[in-house]
Amino acid sequence: MSVLRGFLWLLVFLLLGQTLVRLFHIPMPSGVIGMLLLTLWFGYRGGMNTDVVRISQPLIAMLALLIMPGVVEIFFVADQFSDQWAAILTALLAGTLLSVLSSLLLMRRYLPQSAAEGNSRSADHG
């Protein structure tokens, strides 16, 4: 039951986010506004609701699964972009590697060293 109560919390904050987005024409998805509101709410209460913590873990793990159905469609509309594939793939692969490189360099330059230089790589589970 606790998981369902947590889910209700998430839905309520999602609806709150939706309300704000509609009322103030915020150019962001309601989920992101809901997430920020919930973070503020936790801050206001000075702690997290255990029901929400319990539902959040499986849901966050599902985020990758939730992209998949959208990906399937690309195999069926591929002809539409048949003369663009070289440009698309180069842009995605080279562009992403370049942006990873620049963000790593930027962050290393400006982020102060942490005391707890963690290298604990727990076994992956997914």
Partner 1 sequence: MGDWLERLSQLPQQWFDSPIAAIALTLGAYFLGIRLFKLIRRPNWCPPMLIAAVVIAGVIALLPIGIEDYNRGANWLMLLLGPATVALAVPLYQQLPQIRALWKPILMTLPLSATLAACYAVIIAAVMGAPEDVLASLAPKSVTSPIALSLAEELGGSRALLMGALLTTGVTAIFGVEWLSRILHIRDPRLIGLALGINGHALGTVRAFEINSVAGAFASLGMSLTGAFTAVVLPLVWHLFY
Q: Rounded to whole angstroms, what are the CA distances from 55 to 52, 59, 66, 68, 99?
A: 5, 6, 16, 21, 33
Question: How many CB atoms are closer than 10 A to CB 34?
Answer: 22
Min separation Cβ 79 and partner 1, Å: 11
Burial tier of 41 (Cβ tally within 10 Å: 0-12, 13-18, 19+)? middle
Min separation Cβ 45 and partner 1, Å: 10
Nearer to partner 1, 2 or 87 (CB): 87
Nearer to partner 1, 23 or 114 (CB): 114
For the chain, how long is the longest CA-to-CA vector?
Answer: 55
Min separation Cβ 20 and partner 1, Å: 13
